[in-house]
Structures are given as structure tokens and as C-alpha cells.
Structure 1
Amino acid sequence: MDFVLLIHGDEMLWDAFSESERTRMAEAHRQFGRAMVMAGVKVKYGAGLTRSREGKLVRPDGPAVAGPYAVGREQIGGIWIIEVKSAEEAEAWARKMPYAPGDIVEVRPCDPTA
């Protein structure tokens, strides 16, 4: 089954990181991706995202609206799409992911019919 691991975090906290802290987190995620592959997980995609203010919310019946969109301070900052045997295995990998302070990871199955 395919699962998406959505990394939610506070962009203001990330913006306060030093350049070396950002570099360390990026390297930690590269190592995490390699660890999944070495363990036999099929990593279909992984990426950090730009700030929500750089995106646009598009609706079919109106103009595109610039971000951020969430009511709270948390935004989606990165994603991994992985193929594993079960939701429990996807959750186990989500727990091993490098977390910035305050981050949470949403684990959601991909819909094979979509």
C-alpha cells in the first residue's frame, strides 16, 4: 500500500533556524530516506516544500489566493510517499523521521482508485 507522510510544522520556528540547523535537518532527512530504502521500503517520492506564502489556493470558481491557508501556525513543510505493507509500518517509519521542534507527521493512505 502507498502512504503519504505529511510533515506539519510551524514555519516561524523553521525560519528561526540557523543555516547550519537547516542543513543538519536536510541531511537528517536524506539519511532517513536512505535508511528506508536500505530496509526495503519503496520510497516513491520525498521533498521539502517552500513556504506556504509562496503557494496559491486554487478553486474552480474564483481567483487563486496566496497562502498561508491554515488557521493555525502549522503548515505542511514536506512529504514522503512510501510503499509499505501496512498502516502500522507507515506509522513506525513516521516515528523514525527527523522532527524539528513542534513537528507532527500525518500518515495517510493513498487512494488507489483516485
Structure 2
Amino acid sequence: MPYLLMLYVNEAGWSKLSQTEQEQGVAAYKAYTETLTKAGVLTGFNRLQGSSTATTVRVVNGKSQVLDGPYADSKEQLGGNYIIDVADLDAAISWAARCPTASHGVVEVRPVWTIPA
């Protein structure tokens, strides 16, 4: 069953890290991605640009409203995602706990609604 792991972090924290800490962070995500790949559960992943690049669109009374910025103003921002295909929620939670984000942010686990062919 496919699950989306949404990675939420405080974007401001990255710039406060030293160069060495940033390199260690990149290496941790690379290793995690390689582990998912070797396990055969990774089906996709994305790293997002900063929330300041977001555009929010909604339609009200038939007219588009376009706003700069993310949908929600919060302490943590959506920074990326992984899509994994695993047996069940317990397996997805186990993978989420191994994600580097879990140690400095939040990993939201959500099943993907699969549309029958």
C-alpha cells in the first residue's frame, strides 16, 4: 500500500547550522533515500523550495484568488516528501521514524488513495 511521508521542518533552522552540520544533514537524507531504494519501497521523493516561493490558489464564487505564500502560516513548513509502498501503516510508521526529519521536525504519514484502473 502506498504512503506519503510529508516532512515538516522549521526552515529557519537550516541557515543556523554550520557548514559541517549542513553536510551531515545532506548525507543523512542521502543515506535514508538509499536505504529506502535498496529495500525496494521507494516510489518517489521531492525536496521543495522554501515556503516563500509558494503560491496559494483557491476559487471563490467562480473567481480565482491567488496569494503569495504557503496555505498555512506555521512554525514548521512542508519541506519535502517521500512516497513509499509498504505492507501496512505499521511499516510506514517504522520508515517514518527512521527519516532524519523525525529527529528535528515532524513526519506526517498518510495513506495514498489509490484509484482503480
Tell me the secondary structure at the aligned position of residue 85 of structure 1.
coil
- Counterpart residue number, 1:89: 91
The aligned counterpart of 1:79 is 81
Change beyond 3 A, Cα 1:35–1:10: same
Instruction: Rate the CA distance shift 1:85–1:57 in 2: closer, same or farther, 3 A.
Output: same
**Pairwise CA RMSD of aligned residues?**
1.9
Is 1:28 the counterpart of 2:28? The answer is: yes
TM-score by length of 2: 0.84
Residue identity matched to 1:113: I
Structural mapping, 1:1-114, within 5 Å: 1-41=1-41, 43-60=42-59, 61-99=63-101, 102-113=104-115
Deviation at 1:100, TM superposition (A): 7.0
The 2-side partners of 1:10 and 1:37 are apart by 26
Instruction: Tell me the distance in 2 between the aligned counterparts of 1:90 and 1:101.
Output: 16
- Residue 19 of structure 1, CA deviation: 3.4
CA contact (8 A) 2:57 2:64 kept: yes
- Residues 35, 15 of structure 1: alpha-carbon distance in 2 compared, 3 angstrom cutoff: same
Segments of 4+ in structure 1 off by > 6 A? none
Native 8 Å contact 2:9 2:101 kept in 1 = no
Question: Shift of the alpha carbon at 1:101?
Answer: 5.7
Deviations 1:12-35 (A, max 9, x none): 212322333223212211110111
Alignment length (residue pairs)? 113
CA contact (8 A) 2:28 2:100 kept: yes
SS of 2:73's partner is: coil
Rg (Cα) greater in structure: 2
Please give the per-residue CA displacement for 1:37-90, whole angstroms capped at 9, x wherever unaligned: 22232x111121111011101113333211133232111011001111111101
Identity of aligned residues (%): 31
Unpaired runs of at least 5, structure 1? none
